[in-house]
Amino acid sequence: MRIIAAFTLVLALAAALPYGTARADKLDAEQLVNDAEFTVKRMWDHPEFKDYIRTYLRRAKGVVVVPTLLKGGFIIGGEGGSGVLMARAQNNEWSYPSFVSVGSASIGLQIGGQTSELLLIIMTGRGLQAILDDQVQIGGELSGAIGPYGSSAEASTTTNLDADIIAYSISKGAFVGVNIEGTALVPRGSYIRSYYGQSVSPHAVVLEGKAGNPHADSLRATLKSLVSQ
């Protein structure tokens, strides 16, 4: 039921957005790439967990960067947003981005809303392949862990490297221990088509390099520069 709820929420979030033209989707995708670069920089220099972010990113197979993750609800709550998915090669070159919708659902006594930034660091080839293949859920097909932070987290670094995905989230600059269990990742095909001007699969973009857009070169260069330090 939790898997169904998570995927239902992702699809509902997408359906709730106004139907847009290819031009509007392209502009939204471009803004998402721009915002993702700022999120990566903030995470890299965050005073609470920058040492861990840097360790994980230098070993990562890829990342999902979600510049704006919205959370809110009454009784039935959920989180949702859009993100960019990129892979890292052994020479620290980064792929052009694919796009995903991110969502999760929960039932409980909750009210209010919250906006945060989310960085999912993909630590295994299995995790990267699963996200590229189709819609996937953390805690289902993939294992996930909240990233350690602070001086007392040293011992948990090695343990968390066994997870497929390590997650860090900040809200208003502060660390947020977001629960990523049940988070669903679904390819956002309209953004991919509009951004690259052709119908192409996430796998073809991220692993095969069959599509490119110079607009993403700044984000790719930023990631390469950071992990090469």
pLDDT interval class at 33 (50, 70, 90)? very high
Smallest CA-to-CA distance from 179 within 228, 226, 110, 132 is with: 110
pTM of the model: 0.84
Domain spans, the chain: 2-222
State how far the Cα of 72 lies from the Cα of 228, in Å rounded to an integer.
38
Taking only the tens place, the pLDDT of each residue in 44-80 is 999 888 999 999 999 999 999 999 887 754 444 566 7
C-alpha–C-alpha distance, residues 135 and 15, integer Å: 16
Q: What is the pLDDT of residues 216-228, one digit of tens each?
A: 999 999 999 999 9
Name the token pair of 210: 């069959």
Q: Is the pLDDT of residue 136 over 80?
A: yes
